[in-house]
Structure 1
C-alpha cells in the first residue's frame, strides 16, 4: 500500500515549528532526525504518520489544530513578535499553542483576522493562487465621486502595478462622511489605503468585515471566537473556488 509522503519543510511549517523559508536555517542550527538519521535537506520526504521525527532529541508530534477568528482593534500589530515591544494580535487569544496570523492588517486597521497553527490553511489563504474575497468597510470624509468609484471598479494604478477590479457600493452618505464597502479579490500590501491615496479619497476608518464565508458579525473589538470544523472546511473550499475562478475554470 502506497504511503503518503510529505516534504520535511512543509511538515515543520504545518505543525508550527517555523516557516518553510526558515527551515534551511533551522536544519543548520539544530539537529533534526528522522528514524535516527540526521536531516539536512529541506526537500527530504517523510511519512508523518509513521516516521519518528525529533528536533534536538525531542519527538515532534502534530499539534491539535486550532482556529481563532479575532476582531483586531486599532493599535495592535499583526505579527507574532515585535522588537519594539508593541502589543500583537496573538495576545488576544489563549496562549495554549504557538499560533500565527493569516495575512496582516496594518496597525490602524480594525476587524477580522484569523490566527491558527494550521500551515496548510494559511497557505490556502495567503498564496497568490488562492486569494479569497475580502470585504472591507470604509468611512471616508465627504462623498465619493464618479471618477473615484470608476477607478476602484476598474483597477487603480499603484507603483507595484494596477489593482484587480474591485466591487464597491455605498452603504450610506451623511453630510460630512460616507460609509462604503469594497470587495477585494487580491491582497497587495496596504492595498485599500494606497488605492485611496492614489485617487485622493480621504480615508478616516478602515475595517475588514468578511473573509471568504466568514463574517465579523457582532464580535466585539479585542474579542475572539473559535471556528467550527464546518467553517474551516468552507474556508478551504472558498480558497479552491477562488483559484479556479482566477484560472478561468468554471466550477
Structure 2
C-alpha cells in the first residue's frame, strides 16, 4: 500500500512542477529526490508520483506552488471612509459590493474596518485563507497610521507595548512609533495582530489621544502601496505566495 499522496490517473509531479515554471523536468526530479517537495503536507521522493493539481496542495522549499492563479482570487481594496465592510447593508449605505461589481466570484471579506476607518481590506474566494488570516492563533500583523490630537509623550509607547486593560480584556501592540508632529496633530504608526472591533481607536482613547483619522496600510505581507481610495488590486505572484505562507497554506 502506498504511503504517499498518490492519485490514480493524475499527472506526474515533475511534469506539474515543470508546467508551473518551477524548474525543468530534470531539475524537478532532483528537487523531489532531495526531499524539497511536499504534497498535501507530506514530503515526497517518488519520481512516479501522480497528483491532482486541481485539488492537491504542493510546496517547494516550503513555498506554495500556484498552478492556476486565476482560481485563487485575492483582492486588495482601499476602503474609503463611509463604506461599511460587508457585502450588503440593510440600511442602504455604501458597502464592499459596490466596489466589487467587476468581480463576479463569491468573495469573503477578511475581517473588517469600521465605517470611519479607511485603507487596506482584503477579499478572497478562499474561505480557509480568510479564516486563517483572521484567526488570532496565526497572529497576522496589521499596520495602521493614525492622526491624533496633541504631541504624544514617550511614555505612551511603553504603556502600549506593555499592555492595556480594555473592557473586553488586556491587549498590547506589536509596535508603536511616532512618525511626525505638525502643530497640534501627531501621526503615529501602530501594529497589532488582534482583530477586535475598533481596537486601535479604543487603545488611543485609553492613553488619552483620540484618533482623528485612521488608515490601515498593511495586512500581513500585503501593502496598501499606491492603491487609490475605492479601487482594487489583484494580489498575485510573490505577494500571493507570501500571503499564503504567512498562515501556513
Q: Find out whether 1:194 has 2:206 as its counterpart.
A: no
Structure 2 gap ranges (5+): 8-53, 56-69
Structure 1 gap ranges (5+): 5-47, 50-62, 242-251
Give the total of aligned pairs: 185
Distance in 1, Cα, partners of 2:125 & 2:248: 20
Q: How does 1:109-148 map to 2 (within 5 A)?
A: 109-148=117-156
**Residue deviations 1:110-142 (CA, integer Å, cap 9, x gap):** 000001111111012011211211110010111
Which residue does the alignment assign to 2:239? Answer: 231
TM-score (ref. length: structure 2) = 0.69
Distance in 1, Cα, partners of 2:162 & 2:173: 5
Distance in 2, Cα, partners of 1:143 & 1:108: 23
RMSD after superposition = 2.1
* 4+ runs deviating over 4 angstroms: 1-4
Which residue does the alignment assign to 2:229? Answer: 221
Bigger-Rg structure (1/2):
2
**Residue deviations 1:169-190 (CA, integer Å, cap 9, x gap):** 1111111111110111222221
TM-score (ref. length: structure 1) = 0.68
Out of 181-190 and 216-225, give the one that drifted further.
Answer: 181-190
Per the TM alignment, residue 3 of structure 1 is displaced from its structure 2 partner at its CA by: 7.8
Q: How does 1:1-251 map to 2 (within 5 A)?
A: 64-93=71-100, 94-240=102-248
**Residue deviations 1:62-117 (CA, integer Å, cap 9, x gap):** x9331110100000000111111111123212231121210000000000000111
Task: Tell whether the 8 Å contact from 1:164 to 1:186 is kept in structure 2 after alignment.
Answer: no
Task: Tell whether the 8 Å contact from 2:143 to 2:189 is kept in structure 1 after alignment.
Answer: yes
